[in-house]
């Protein structure tokens, strides 16, 4: 057993952090959470604290990054040439996608996931659609790219939900995939099922879920096939939804309804489903999402980078949709920034303050994100949960003098001092213990961009 003594810890259902909390872990699980009364002796049974590992600062549960495309990390800072319009971004994205193979993707994803570990992320949802070789030819192992991502997460020391993505068509009216997109496609949903069924991830750190790329990329009559696979497995199902108004317009033109309505009619919505972005839903869409308890994964730093807009986060939460967070394109990997953007973007849009309490943002970044990825036993500092401990410095240039309850409005990923995943220390003193993150990122990105 290991004992950790947190200067402050954010306990479940607390509006603010609790000082002096003894956390006991054993076998990768939390076995004790004991708040010590400030300045007094520990309660009976906690006689000796000299062996406890001190955690100065604020200790949080593990952060969950519920939406990632690992290879987009190679695009950071490369999509702003000229004035950096959407097509600049997409051209670079397709160039990088065209170059990756299982070996180079392993190297790039390992470095990207290690950067996430440094930022306090203990679990990532990889929305994975780069399945096949050049021209769409399957590798000898048709799941070689999936296996590379699972191995990358193991090297980085974090958990992964591989959201294997069905990506079948280029447009809502069913135009075929062309150019680099051909690497994404399985032909039809039944062949997607056959490929995914043949994949068993190597290691207890990984599980498989499903994704529908969008209503653009999966024909309406095949949506239920993907949703049915997730339902039978009890696996999470994710889908990009209404990221831009053009998707809504195209869906109305072809199907006569919004993307959300189309998904509802084909059995895609529900408590195991997470809609990513949901930036441009109608009021009726918000009701459909909330009534079905469909989760919403907001990716504010990507949505701002791609000029998508600001989704109605408060209205969706009030309608009944749990909110989670993702770094998506990895223009930024910092869940503190994603979390506070949920509140700050609402302020910009409404010109009013006070939409989300700090504890709401913590919930989105931790337990809600883990739940969206199918890890119902993570994201809380509670007995029985996975032993994920993320400790944030409160003595950095950004956080000095900040009360612990304000940490989510002040800290950055660079303030994460220590990260424990499933009881194992992955980051100590702000350094990844097994991956030289800047060197590996530089090398891996150089391989696919030079």
| Residues annotated as part of the active site | 277, 328
Please state the separation of Cα 450 from the chain's center in Å: 28
Q: How many alpha carbons lie under 13 Å from residue 104 in its C-beta half-sphere? A: 18
* Position with the least CB separation from Zn ion: 328
Q: How far is the CB of 68 from Zn ion (least distance, A)?
A: 8
Q: Is 308 in the site for Zn ion (CB under 5 A)?
A: no
Stretch that binds Zn ion, among 106-114, 205-213, 321-329, 419-427 (CB under 5 A): 321-329
Name which of 240 and 432 has its Cβ closer to Zn ion.
240
**Tokens representing residue 256 in the block:** 């006569």
What count of other Cβ atoms lies within 10 Å of the Cβ of residue 7? 17
CA distance 315 to 272: 20
Q: How far is the CB of 140 from Zn ion (least distance, A)?
A: 28
How far is it between the farthest Cα atoms of the chain? 70
Name which of 8 and 71 has its Cβ closer to Zn ion.
71
Stretch that binds Zn ion, among 143-151, 160-168, 320-328, 420-428 (CB under 5 A): 320-328
Handedness of CA 217, 262, 223, 370 (dihedral sign): positive
Q: How far is the CB of 377 from Zn ion (least distance, A)?
A: 26
Stretch that binds Zn ion, among 263-271, 325-333, 399-407, 441-449 (CB under 5 A): 325-333
Tell me whether strands 416-421 and 424-428 are parallel, antiparallel or unpaired: antiparallel
**Tokens representing residue 149 in the block:** 């991502």
Q: Which of positions 370-429 make contact with Zn ion (CB under 5 A)?
A: none
CA distance 156 to 46: 34
| Residue tagged 């394109």 (tokens) | 329
Nearest to 342 by CA among 366, 370, 374, 310: 310
CA distance 306 to 316: 21
Name which of 238 and 386 has its Cβ closer to Zn ion.
238
How many residues contact Zn ion, by CB under 5 A?
1
Name which of 328 and 345 has its Cβ closer to Zn ion.
328
Among 164, 186, 328, 440, binds Zn ion (CB under 5 A): 328
Q: How far is the CB of 329 from Zn ion (least distance, A)?
A: 7
Name which of 247 and 328 has its Cβ closer to Zn ion.
328
**Site residues (vs Zn ion, CB under 5 A):** 328
């Amino acid at each position: 057993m290991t004992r950790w003594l947190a200067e402050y810890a954010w306990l479940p259902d607390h509006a603010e952090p609790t000082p002096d909390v003894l956390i006991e872990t054993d076998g990768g699980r939390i076995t004790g959470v004991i708040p010590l009364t400030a300045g007094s002796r520990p309660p009976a049974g906690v006689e000796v604290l000299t062996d406890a590992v001190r955690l100065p600062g604020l200790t949080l549960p593990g952060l969950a990054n519920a939406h990632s495309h690992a290879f987009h990390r190679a695009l950071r800072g490369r999509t702003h040439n000229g004035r950096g319009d959407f097509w600049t971004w997409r051209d670079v994205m397709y160039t990088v996608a065209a170059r990756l193979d299982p070996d180079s993707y392993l190297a790039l994803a390992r470095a990207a996931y290690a950067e996430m570990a440094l930022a306090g992320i203990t679990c990532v949802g990889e929305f994975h659609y780069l399945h096949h070789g050049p021209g769409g030819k399957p590798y000898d192992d048709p799941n070689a790219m999936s296996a590379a991502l699972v191995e990358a997460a193991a090297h980085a020391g974090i958990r992964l939900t591989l959201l294997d993505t069905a990506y079948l068509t280029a447009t809502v009216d069913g135009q075929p995939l062309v150019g680099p997109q051909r690497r994404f496609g399985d032909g039809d949903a039944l062949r997607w099922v056959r490929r995914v069924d043949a994949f068993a991830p190597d290691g207890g750190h990984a599980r498989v879920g499903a994704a529908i790329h969008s209503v653009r990329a999966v024909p309406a009559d095949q949506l239920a096939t993907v949703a049915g696979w997730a339902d039978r497995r009890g696996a999470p199902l994710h889908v990009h939804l209404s990221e831009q108004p053009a998707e809504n317009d195209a869906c109305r033109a072809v199907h006569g309804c919004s993307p959300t309505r189309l998904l509802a009619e084909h059995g895609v919505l529900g408590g195991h489903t997470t809609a990513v972005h949901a930036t441009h839903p109608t009021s009726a869409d918000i009701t459909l999402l909330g009534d079905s308890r469909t989760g919403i994964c907001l990716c504010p730093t990507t949505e701002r980078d791609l000029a998508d807009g600001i989704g109605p986060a408060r209205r969706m939460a009030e309608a009944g949709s749990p909110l989670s967070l993702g770094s998506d394109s990895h223009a930024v990997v910092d869940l503190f920034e994603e979390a506070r953007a949920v509140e700050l973007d609402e302020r910009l849009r409404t010109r009013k303050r006070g939409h989300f309490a700090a504890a709401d943002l913590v919930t989105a970044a931790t337990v809600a994100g883990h739940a969206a990825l199918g890890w119902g036993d993570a994201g809380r500092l509670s007995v029985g949960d996975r032993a994920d401990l993320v400790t944030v410095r409160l003595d950095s240039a950004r956080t000095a003098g900040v009360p612990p309850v304000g940490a989510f409005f002040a800290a950055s990923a660079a303030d994460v001092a220590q990260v424990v995943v499933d009881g194992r220390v992955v980051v100590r003193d702000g350094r990844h213990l097994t991956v030289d993150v800047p060197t590996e990122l530089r090398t891996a990105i150089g391989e696919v961009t030079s």
